[in-house]
Every structure is written in C-alpha cells, then in structure tokens.
Amino acid sequence: MQKAQVRFDRDFIIGETDRRLFGAFVEHLGRCVYGGIFEPGHPTADKNGFRRDVLDLVRELAPTIMRYPGGNFVSGYNWEEGVGPVEKRPSRMDLAWKSIETNQFGTNEFIDWCRLADIEPMLAVNLGTRGPDEARHYLEYCNHPSGTTLSDLRREHGWEKPHDVKFWCLGNEMDGAWQMGAKTAEEYGRIATEAAKVMKLTDPTIELAACGSSGRKMSTYGEWERIVLEHTFDDVEYVSLHTYLNNYADDTPSFLASPDLMDSFIEEVVAIADSVAARRRSPKRIMLSFDEWNVWYRTRRGDENRIQTGWPVAPHILEEKYNMQDALAFGGACISLLNHADRVKAGCLAQLVNAIAPIMTETGGPAWRQTIFWPFADFSNLGRGRVLRTYVDVPTYSTRYYDPTRTEELYDRIETVPYLKVSAIHSETDQTVTLFLLNRHLSDGIELNLEATGFGTLTKQRAHELRHDNLLALNTREKPDEVKPREFDAVEAADGCVSMKLAPASWTVVRFDVSK
C-alpha cells in the first residue's frame, strides 16, 4: 500500500470552471452524425430523426457545448449545401474521410438538436478551401435577425429566430499537412485575422478561437502559436489545443502518465500567449480552447479505417473500442483540464457518438456507454465550481512515453509522475467539495490522508469508483455494463480527519458536504 497526503485550502483557488470546459464534438465523420445522433427510421427516432436513446445518454453525459461540423471535414465543407429543402441538397465527396456526404443533416438540424439537448452550439468555419467571405456569410445566415438575403433565407428555411451562436472556430488544424488548404503560420495568421475582422463586423457579440497546433508533437509547435497570435491577438479570445493520448507501445504506466503531458502543453501555450501579450504590454489574456482531446490509437493508424475502398456513406471508421485502462488515462486528462481552469475556458471531448466516442450505437439497434463515458460524466456533472490548488505528497515513478507520430523524437521523458493525480473542486452553490482521484499504481492501493483547511466538517455525501480486475475489459453491445462505477466505501470522515483507501489502477470520485 502506498501512502499519500493531500492538502488544500478553501482560499487557495486556481480558478472557477467555465461551463464551456465540459464540451464535446460532433463531426461529419463515420457514424457520428448518420447512425449516431441522427437516424430517421430508427425505432427511437423523433419526428426530426434524432435518436432518443442517444439523446438520453447525451443528457446523462452532460456535455455543455458541442463543436460542429469538423474537424478535418470542415476544411472542405460548403455550409450552404447543408441548408434548405432536404431533397435538393447535393451529395458530395468528403475528401477528409473519403466518404460521401449526403447533406441530409446540416447546420439548422444541428442547432435544433443542441437546443433539444440543452447544449450550446460551437461552429467552425472553413478556412481550408474557403475563406473570410464564406465565414461572414455563414455567420450572417446563422445570427443576423432578418432583412438581408441570407438571414431571410434562414427564415424561409423555417428558422425564424437567429441561432445566436456565440463561439466560432477559425478553421481546424490548419498547421497539419493532412488538412485541406493547410497553411503556414504566416498564411493562417493573416487569413484568420481577416476572417475575424469581417465576422466581428457582422456580429460583434461572437467569440473566436484561432487554431493552435494540432498537437504538441508538431515540428512547428510553439512558433506556430507565437506567429498566429502575433497576427490575431487583438481579434480572438481563444487559441485551440488538440491532444489524443495513446498506448501504441503497450506500456500502461507510461500511458497513465501521459495526461501529464497535457499539463505541460497547456502551461507552454499559456506562456507563449502571455509572451505575445507582454510584448504589447497588454493586459488582455488569450484563453485556451482544448477543443479536441481524447484517447485514440487503435483506429488511428489503421489504414483500413481511413482509406476504405469506394466512397461509402457513414462508414464504420474510427470506431475505437475503449477499455478500462483507456478510461483511467481519460480520467487523468479530465484532471489536467480541471487543474487549469484559470486558462482553459473551453474544452471538447472528441467526439460524441461512434467515432472515437463515449457513446456507441448499432445502426437500427441499441446504444451503450463506452468505458470513457464514466469519467466524462463525473467530470461534467460534478466538476463545476472553484478548482482548489492541491498539495500532493505521494511516491512517484518516471517513464518514457512513446508517440510514433512524433517527428523528431519517439519518446517524451516524464521524470516525476506522482502515482496519484488529483483535482479538488469547491462548489459554493452546492456547499460541497468534490475530489477526482486517479491511482496510477497498477498493483498497489493508496492510503490517503486529507487535510482540508477552511471548510469546517467534511461529511461524505457520495462516492464511487471505476475499476476492473482486467485492464483490457470493455463494454460491448452484448455486455454494456462490464465496466461501470460502483459504490466506494473505503472513506472515513470523523473528527475533522478524512482518510480513504484507493484501489490499484482506479478512478475514484468522492463528494463531501461542507459545513462552511
């Protein structure tokens, strides 16, 4: 048994979690839209073709904001082809995912779906094959009340009121060679600024995210952020970050350490953004939009998925089957995001259904929760409030994280990895403190003592853990509940002392009521 000491104080606050931190992502990719959220003819479909079984799971998962329509897809997308009478919408070759896009689902349907699910929409404009003109027209169609051809077209299409979409992404992963219309930092910085200018003239109430690097592994990482922000600093509110954790090397301790690289990534991007501000002597702070994050590797390099034969509609691509250890690494990523709540103001789990997703469906059949569903539901439902600065004293290990997609070095050295990764959230509204705890030790439990200053008495309100004797266990159509949370009893709170015993390789969430 390892021993750990965790301390925090009511007044030592990292930041308040923004509602938008708990978002996800719906891309026209594989069966995320078609056969995922939208399947007319499915036994549970409503009059709009929205699957109600999926909607129920989405409500349980509780994402707050939803990015759409891509991803790589958006860089070749013509939004006009996804609005208006459905029977007149064209079928197009989607070069991003080598599929046919039927355009039966488009922006208006997406907005309706978001409203139904009580989720804020986040839209991305195409700065790959198109540019500022398309971006301002898309925005005008969505947000302008009436009296112009485009706003009246929306009304004619049946959406009288403006969609009032506030959060817009200026393209997607424009630094990536795979992206349609990929650009250098200078080229992107210029076009993003010009798009931002005409978009904010069209609707000054919007907020904009410029593309950061599509991963910390990119050879242009760092310089990309600096140059892009030198151009866009005055026009945008956010810069984006993307990360997909992997276990290519089949090295579980390293995999579970890898969320710590997200901590470094966030802190580095903050430093770069603030250096751009400093050079301008500006008090403005660019916030971070971590608008793609997840675990993704089994279906990432698999050519069978990306380069399928023919041009199918809604193919079964990127249908990653998540196991127990993926859920643990994923939980670590949730903790990394929470612990940077001062600067990461938006986040999107990529993605929502079927394609690298917490929810799986069978077309025409049932829907079920993947293992990663559980830590995300905890994160979103219980992670709202003030994130407290935690002091964690626990044994550490060191590791080398293998990432075959890195260009220069195959390994990231992570020298000091605490076996316990923690986040503590104080909700003044609910009068609670919630702990998110990841025990990364594969064979040892952790005996933890807690010292919480400034809260009076802590009384356990609820606690559960996610673990499985087999780290490769997963949920399937046949066994949808193989991996699911169970009550956690090994917590004692008496006479102001709190202690608990965490199981090896486990994700535990404990919520306490506080007396002040």
Q: Which residues carry out catalysis?
A: 173, 292
What mask, x for binding ligand AHR by CB under 6 A, covers residues 105 to 124? --------------------
Place of tokens 């060679």: 177
End-to-end CA distance of the chain: 33
126 sits near ligand AHR (criterion: CB under 6 A): no
Place of tokens 């600067």: 343
> What distance in Å separates the CA atoms of residue 27 and residue 29, rounded to the nearest whole number?
5
Q: Which stretch binds ligand AHR (CB under 6 A): 64-72, 382-390, 422-430, 441-449?
A: 64-72
Place of tokens 């010292």: 451
Which residue's Cβ has the minimum distance to ligand AHR?
A: 71
| Among 4, 20, 24, 27, contact with ligand AHR (rule: CB under 6 A) | 27
What mask, x for binding ligand AHR by CB under 6 A, covers residues 285 to 304? -------x------------
Smallest gap, in angstroms, from Cβ of residue 6 to ligand AHR?
34
Smallest gap, in angstroms, from Cβ of residue 28 to ligand AHR?
9
Q: Please, where are the H alpha helices in 369-452?
A: 373-382
Smallest gap, in angstroms, from Cβ of residue 70 to ligand AHR?
5
Place of tokens 């355009």: 103
175 sits near ligand AHR (criterion: CB under 6 A): no
Please provide the DSSP assignment of 251-268 as one string: -HHHHHHTHHHHHHHHHH
Q: Phi/psi at 193 (nearest 5 deg)?
A: -65, -45
Note whether 179 and 75 are within 8 A (CB): yes
202 sits near ligand AHR (criterion: CB under 6 A): no
What mask, x for binding ligand AHR by CB under 6 A, covers residues 67 to 106? ---xxx----------------------------------
Q: Smaller CB distance to ligand AHR: residue 214 or 371?
A: 214
Smallest gap, in angstroms, from Cβ of residue 210 to ligand AHR?
15
Smallest gap, in angstroms, from Cβ of residue 433 to ligand AHR?
34
| Among 17, 103, 107, 172, contact with ligand AHR (rule: CB under 6 A) | 172
| Among 173, 194, 326, 465, contact with ligand AHR (rule: CB under 6 A) | 173
Determine what percent of the chain falls in helix, strand and coil, rounding each to the nearest 5: 25, 30, 45
> What distance in Å separates the CA atoms of residue 5 and residue 28, rounded to the nearest whole number?
46
Site for ligand AHR in 345-404 (CB under 6 A): 350-351
Q: Which amino acid is at 153?
A: L
Cis-peptide, bond into residue 395, ω within 30° of zero: no
Q: Phi/psi at 326 (nearest 5 deg)?
A: -65, -40
Nearest to 195 by CA among 221, 226, 213, 174: 174
Using CB under 6 A, list all residues that contact ligand AHR: 27, 70-72, 172-173, 214, 292, 350-351
